[in-house]
Amino acid sequence: MVKVRDSVAFMRGAAVVVAAWLICSGLIAVAQTKNSCLDCHSNLPEPLGVSVETYGQNIHAQKGLTCAACHGGDANNDDPEKAMSRAAGWKGKIERKQVPELCASCHADAELMKKYNPSLRVDQFQQYKTSVHGMKWAKGDTKVAVCTDCHGVHDLRAPSDPRSNVHPTNIATTCSHCHADAEYMKPYGIKTDQFANYQQSVHHEAMMVRGDLSAPTCTTCHGNHGATPPGVANVTKVCANCHVFQAQLFDTSPHKDTFAAMGFPGCVTCHSNHAIQHPTDEMIGIGPKAVCVKCHTEGDAGATQAEAMHNQLTALAAAIAASDELLRRAERQGMEVSQPKLQATQARDALLKARVTVHAFNDSELKPDTDAGLAVTRQTHAAGEKAMEEWRFRRVGLGLSVVAIAIALVGLGLYIRNLEQK
């Protein structure tokens, strides 16, 4: 009896579960957004073809938008004639000149964008209109970059996606598609060596070799949607976004007003722009690699200052190298020198600070930093000398101990022989 009651209860439960599953799956099917365009276009060749895989990686598709969001039409209709009818609002191919406004129809709408990404800015179109690209576009130039040239079209990904054209590691390559194309840039009369130069730069090395995504790429200095070349007066401000102290010191230096008066573009005057190399101490002074001699001549006040600064920097760098080498040698011999090695970092910090202070272009401001570094290297060098002296002492001690032990062994051997001969 109990068994029969249990079977009935089980059957009722199963029926409820099956009914619930059927209802839910029906509701899900209704709620799903249909994109009938892909049924045909995924099988078409380029340029009309868009594979399901490509479209699936599109950030818009991932947010639930269909082809109709840009192209119009009715993506829910399986009949191509009706889906791509003017009555259904179908626009067909989007012309390049229409792209910025089409994108802005959503991306400049703060209320709409909040639904998808509340933190996303909505001023891209406003910025674009102030850019060189945007201004030329407004004048009807269709060769200039529009949104899709940088962001992509059907494979458009979020900028944080490493595969995105506008991910920091890809931006320079994206810009180079036009700006390194001499033929394409010919009408604009601007150089096309920026990308090649950038690839030689310390900034490129930081970004691509060291993987530092905060390192500058094209948009860091030129802006992205409001892209424009920084003017002479603005270069220092652009560099100062990262190189804060160097810029502050430069502003207090005699070079600031002089450069401005002569029309020199601040930082770029000595460091260049796209091909910025890792700065060396040779850049300052009157040596063959010094940039100071571009304006100063040997013996003038500026050259004397530059030479004094060069000497201070190289003296500290040499003292650090000598101390490091000595400590390394002591460590190789098994000596415990972790404390002086740690202390040596203070000297390196002082050198780093001095290399920044150089931008005040005043050797008396540099001296406290280099003196502090030299004082540390004197201590670390002395610690290294002491460690090596201790190492030599140990060697001598070991030699004497071995001799003493050998004598004791011989003595014991003779004593045992004498003992056993009795």
Which residues contact another protein by CB under 8 A? 334-336, 338-339, 394-395, 397-398, 401-402, 405, 408-409, 412-413, 415-416, 419-420
- Shortest Cβ distance from residue 324 to another protein (Å)? 18
Listed residue (114, 97, 217) closest to 169, CA to CA: 217
Question: In terms of CB distance, is 13 or 413 closer to another protein?
Answer: 413
Question: In terms of CB distance, is 169 or 343 closer to another protein?
Answer: 343
Q: Which amino acid is at 173?
A: T
- What's the rounded Cα separation, in Å, for the pair 304 and 310? 10
Query: Residue 52, Cβ neighbours under 10 Å: how many?
Result: 13
Question: In terms of CB distance, is 231 or 397 closer to another protein?
Answer: 397
- Shortest Cβ distance from residue 336 to another protein (Å)? 4
Q: What angle do CA 227, 239, 357 make, to 5 degrees?
A: 175
- Shortest Cβ distance from residue 223 to another protein (Å)? 39
- Shortest Cβ distance from residue 415 to another protein (Å)? 7
Total number of residues shown for the chain: 422
Q: Are 312 and 328 within 8 A, CB to CB?
A: no
- Shortest Cβ distance from residue 420 to another protein (Å)? 7
Q: Which amino acid is at 4?
A: V
Q: Which amino acid is at 357?
A: T
Q: Are 34 and 75 within 8 A, CB to CB?
A: yes
Buried b (16+ CB within 10 A) or exposed e, 147-157: bbbbbbebbbb
- Please give the DSSP secondary-structure letter assigned to residue 200: T
Question: In terms of CB distance, is 231 or 399 closer to another protein?
Answer: 399
Question: In terms of CB distance, is 105 or 338 closer to another protein?
Answer: 338
- What's the rounded Cα separation, in Å, for the pair 311 and 416? 71
- Shortest Cβ distance from residue 406 to another protein (Å)? 8
Question: In terms of CB distance, is 190 or 410 closer to another protein?
Answer: 410
